[in-house]
Amino acid sequence: MPEDDVPITGKIRDKLIERKQDWARQGRLLTGTTADPDHDRLPPGQRLVKDWPVLDLGAQPDVTEAKFRLDVDGAVQNRLSLRLDEFMALPQTEQASDMHCVTQWSRYDNHWKGVSAQALLRIVQPSSEVNHVIFTAHDGYTSNIRLDQFDQPDVLLVHQWEGRTISREHGGPVRMLVPRLYLWKSAKWLRRIHFTISDHPGFWERRGYHNNGDPWLEERYD
């Protein structure tokens, strides 16, 4: 059980994890091509969908308003530990972006509302030595990105999609959104953002997936 005693429905599906590790070993879905995001909207090997497929490890935390907590810590001047109402009181941003999943689907023109990563950076003020940002979910899932990937105008901590509260199955009440990277980097059920000098590969990165995850460079696997 997570540290905040958040209830979880379902069980981790070990066979699903093993299958996705096999994909990495086999190089499944790789086309061997690259694209330019300034000219090619759809990354190599992707197909468009109109729905939003639900993908998780088999277990979904039930993060109620009372249980929600977001810690922002590490090598920063101003650490935060936010209740949901305190998070909602931060400056809010609305924007549209595409999303791309490593399992081969992409969805265009998603409308989001949340707190921009750049607004958060202005508040916490990371040390000049910080190079990486580590996300931890309420179920213990982790993912990692570089600070320069986090410090982008389209990166958000989102709580709304298409004008509605993000559902639990999609990582609500708050999840990451890093639209320039494969979606596994955008941790659901966000619990902690940790700024660090050294890199710490996350759940899928330790299981054969690429440490960077750029869809246009087809960085699916290590």
Q: Which pLDDT score, from 0 to 100, does residue 7 have?
A: 86
Left (φ > 0), alpha (ψ -120 to 50) or beta: where does 122 sit?
alpha
Q: Which two tokens stand for residue 221?
A: 């696997």
The arithmetic mean of pLDDT across residues 20-36, rounded, is 95
Q: Does the pLDDT value for residue 193 go beyond 90?
A: yes
92-126 pLDDT, tens digit each: 999 999 999 999 999 999 999 999 999 999 999 99
pLDDT above 90 covers a percentage of the chain that reads 90
| pTM above threshold 0.85 | yes
Separation CA 197–CA 174 (nearest Å) = 25
Examine the pLDDT at 4 and tell me if it is beyond 90. no
Contacts of 49 (CB under 8 A, 6+ apart): 105, 106, 107
**pLDDT score at 1:** 34
Q: What is the mean pLDDT of residues 8-25?
A: 88
Q: What percent of the chain has pLDDT over 70?
A: 98
Task: Please tell me the predicted confidence (pLDDT) of residue 2.
Answer: 43
Q: In the predicted model, what is the mean pLDDT of residues 191-203? A: 97
CA distance 102 to 218: 9
Of residues 14 and 117, which shows the higher confidence score? Answer: 117
Which range among 21-25, 33-37, 58-62, 189-193 shows the weakest confidence by mean pLDDT? Answer: 58-62
State the chain's mean pLDDT as an integer: 95
52-64 pLDDT, tens digit each: 999 888 789 999 9
Question: pLDDT tens digits for 138-191?
Answer: 999 999 999 999 999 999 999 999 999 999 999 999 999 999 999 999 999 999
Enumerate residues 6+ apart whose C-beta is below 8 A from 26.
Answer: none
